[in-house]
Copies of this chain bind each other. A is one copy, B any other.
Amino acid sequence: MTVVAKSSLIGKRIPKMDAPEKAAGKTRYVQDINLPGQLIGKILRTDRVHARIVSIDTAAAKALPGVYAVLTAADIPKRGLGVNKDNPPLKGDKVRTIRDEIAAVAAETEEIALEALKLIKVVYEDLPILADPRQSTQPGAPVIQDAKPDNIAMTFDYAHGDVAQGEKESDVVVESEFYLHYVTHCCMGVSGIIADFEPTSGNLTLYSNTQVPFLHKREFSEVLGMDPGRIRIIQPPIGGGFGSKLDIYPFEPIAVYLAKAARRPVKLVFTREEEFLASPTRQPALCRLRSGAKKDGTLTFRAVDILLDNGGYTSWGATIPFVMMQTFSSLYRVPHCLFHTKAVYSNNPYAGSFRGYGNLQATFTVEQHMDMLAEKLGLDPLAIRMKNAQESGEVTGQGMVFTSCGFKECLTTAASRSDFARKFTDYAQQQSKPGNKKRGIGLAAMIHVGGGAKIYPSDGCGTILKMDDFGHVTIMTGASEIGQGSETVLAQLVCEELGLPLDAVSVVNNDTEVTPWDVGVHASRTTFIAGNSAIGAARKAKDKILNAAAKVTNMTADQLEMRGGFVVRAADGEMVMPLPKLLRSLHFSDKAELVMTTHYYEPSSVHQDKKFMGNVSATYAWAAQICEIEVDTDTGIVTLEKVTAAHDVGRVLNRMGLEGQIEGGIVMGQGYALTEDLMVRQGKVLNPGFRDYKLVTAPEIPEMDISFIESMDGEGPQGAKGVGEAPAICMAAAIANAIHNATGVRLTRLPFSPENVYRALVTAKGGVVE
């Protein structure tokens, strides 16, 4: 008797399946793809912040040998991009931001294209610049978009309870104004696209780094006025997304229009400077937050008024209130909540979506207020959070349903592993002692969607599974691998169902022609949604296999199991038949069959109503992060020493991948808090390069202690939740709290650069910095 042991890949440390190719330099990014007959596209951008376009003369550019197409707004349909459809791919009337696209060229080589750009003559008439969003709605402010004469791009109003009543019941109230700055995604792979029309059908293939291939089909069809069924999106491995590739941006239709005009494939790839100037940013915000609590720490109300600088055009940045309000309304039990946000036009750059999607900004404010309330009440930061923390089974004022919630375990785990209570007290006591090196520890917590976010009529994902005659499985999933490790997790989940080793599964996920629908990579949804979809397809395959095995073994399907590449007897693991043999017997029988299955998974979450009420995600992720820092009060330099993180991940699927996600997120949050600053002054970007824009690099990465809370979500794949965005969210808040712990000074403006910190410390003591 041969017994096949039961084994599982769940929770193991599994290297990412796409890692070897990337490490070996074999990965072919959009930069590496070249189609026969391909031209190079380049965009002429304005050098003005706000100006009327008087004339554009492209005659010399068109006459340059090697130039195949020169386009201006006059050559393309007048359809705007983005959330408010206010961003024409090429600007014909006026320019509103420094990144604005005026003309585009397709030429045989990059050199010729750049030469052609130089030959284009634009005459402008300058307009007054609106650079401060606080001025946008003042009387007499320059109008940025004629369709919105009040300069208001978007407003969001949400409420539950009655904040006036909440305020009455409060023993303490704190109010602050917070400023959240510009940062940008800094993807290692810059933006790029190749547009290719089929010669006679006119069908369009896009090699695109988009994070949402299936939504892109629809969006491109609207922009281009063509049947979306005739648009195919091939997604090469992308060099980082982080939300920057959710929207459609001008360079993409520009490449398509160039390809159409030139009747040749056109490749358009940004330079690094262009990436800094013309890719989206994280949404800057000015938040006024008022919070109250009772003596015992019970929260009473929260009132928020936020001003978002929308820049010249409206992309996803303006919609971050969808996520922000969840933190205000539902991270803690808040009986009364009032939320108002206004996004106003200016002549500044515009923001897109960015990992965390407004939650870094919201958490920055809420989690500082938790410490401020605690301080006023004489409570410690952990206690006030435990007092108000959500638990499994709760339904929040906004209608969010917490089926699995490890929030309190996150808080206590992070606190105990970091020795938070003792250190917090010690460091506070050392504030007044002599010396310029002050240590501090700070806690922040967060909630984020962990099972998708139904912002589209469907939040689902389809999977097609097929097996060859040798037991090799291919899953074609709608979900995209953009570096987050989803390919590996999906393969693990399929292996778990089918009792196979990891290398028996291939994941195909990069071509809308082949893969079924998925809403795209955002909202930390892929493991949860695509995972459930893959499991569904695998279970159907298992049914087919075990039923076939039952027929040839005189056992019933439920007496059988799949393990280690074999069909085995469930009771004792005795090997019944190697899987390949069974597959071939199925294939080569009279009623020949292949194992091919399909599955579509749609989560039970709902589209929120007009009042923003509803359970938008199938589950929610929780985390607490504690930062230990040292502040040099002479220089303002803040050094992040250690991060203790505890995340409710539902269940650990790939421990290595999960650690990578958490570590990467922590570092991204660290950069947001301490070093990164896209300096926009009077509409101009002053530091479009890595010399002047400081990313966190290896030597600055802190010690990390990461714990996973396994709340075993009932609907999650093997109990897991999404965690892609979570680790970046708490960092700025935790560091702010740590700086306060170290110095007694509360910093409300990001980033905590040496200059900003130094100024704040001096100013707090009544000093003046010149």
Contact = CB atoms under 8 A, between A and B. Distances in A.
Given A23-B199, A26-B199, A203-B503, A468 B217 contact: yes
Interface stretch (A111-119, A593-601, A729-737): A593-601
A568 to B, nearest CB: 19
A508 B514 contact: yes
Contacts of A600: 592-594, 596
Interface stretch (A32-40, A48-56, A153-161): A32-40
A642 to B, nearest CB: 33
B230 A503 contact: yes
Given A25-B36, A26-B35, A471 B229 contact: yes
Nearest to A229: B472
Contacts of A513: 474, 506, 508
A697 interface: no
A510 to B, nearest CB: 11
Contacts of A227: 470, 472
A37 B32 CA distance: 12
A466 interface: yes
A199 B218 CA distance: 37
A250 B472 CA distance: 26
B201 A20 contact: yes
Interface stretch (A123-131, A454-462, A702-710): A454-462
A232 B503 CA distance: 13
A602 B587 CA distance: 9
Contacts of A15: 200
Interface string A443-458: 0000000000000011
B508 A21 contact: no
A768 interface: no
B587 A517 contact: yes
Contacts of A228: 468-470, 472
Contacts of A20: 198-201
Nearest to A504: B229
Contacts of A690: none
Interface string A298-317: 00000000000000000000
Contact of A596 (B232, B464, B469): B464
Interface residues of A, number: 61
Contact of A592 (B26, B458, B514, B588): B458
A25 B513 CA distance: 22
Contacts of A217: 468, 470
Interface in A593-614: 593-594, 596-598, 600, 602
Contacts of A466: 462, 464, 516, 598
B229 A468 contact: yes
A24 interface: yes
A466 B596 CA distance: 13
Interface string A218-238: 100100000111101000000
B517 A474 contact: no
Interface in A211-266: 214, 217-218, 221, 227-230, 232
Contacts of A36: 25-26, 28, 32
A470 B229 CA distance: 5
A682 B36 CA distance: 44
A21 B37 CA distance: 12
Contacts of A602: 591-592
A673 interface: no
A201 B17 CA distance: 9
A512 interface: yes
A200 B598 CA distance: 30
Interface in A512-550: 512-514, 516-517
Nearest to A579: B229
A504 B24 CA distance: 39
B230 A472 contact: yes
A69 interface: no
Residue among A15, A26, A28, A36 with the most chain B CB within 10 A?
A26
A198 B17 CA distance: 10
A225 to B, nearest CB: 14
A405 interface: no
A231 to B, nearest CB: 9
A502 to B, nearest CB: 9
A24 to B, nearest CB: 4
Contact of A517 (B232, B580, B594): B594
Contacts of A591: 602
A524 to B, nearest CB: 20
Given A199-B20, A229-B472, A462 B514 contact: no
Contacts of A584: 457
Contact of A468 (B35, B472, B517, B580): B517
B596 A516 contact: yes
Nearest to A27: B36
Contacts of A516: 466, 594, 596
Residue among A203, A588, A591 with the most chain B CB within 10 A?
A588
Contact of A474 (B28, B471, B514): B514
Nearest to A19: B200
Interface in A464-509: 464, 466, 468-472, 474, 476, 503-504, 506, 508
Contacts of A468: 214, 217, 228-229, 512, 517
Contacts of A512: 468
A441 B765 CA distance: 113
A462 B596 CA distance: 9
A331 B21 CA distance: 56
A388 to B, nearest CB: 35
Nearest first, the 10 A-B pairs at minimum CB distance are: A229-B472, A592-B602, A229-B470, A596-B598, A20-B199, A457-B588, A20-B200, A24-B199, A228-B470, A594-B600
24 contacts: A20-B199, A20-B201, A26-B37, A26-B199, A214-B469, A217-B468, A217-B470, A218-B469, A229-B468, A230-B472, A457-B587, A458-B592, A462-B596, A464-B596, A464-B598, A466-B516, A469-B517, A474-B513, A514-B514, A517-B587, A517-B594, A592-B600, A592-B602, A596-B600
Given A20-B201, A457-B584, 15 more contacts: A20-B199, A20-B200, A26-B199, A203-B503, A214-B468, A217-B468, A218-B469, A229-B472, A458-B588, A464-B598, A469-B517, A474-B514, A476-B514, A516-B594, A598-B598
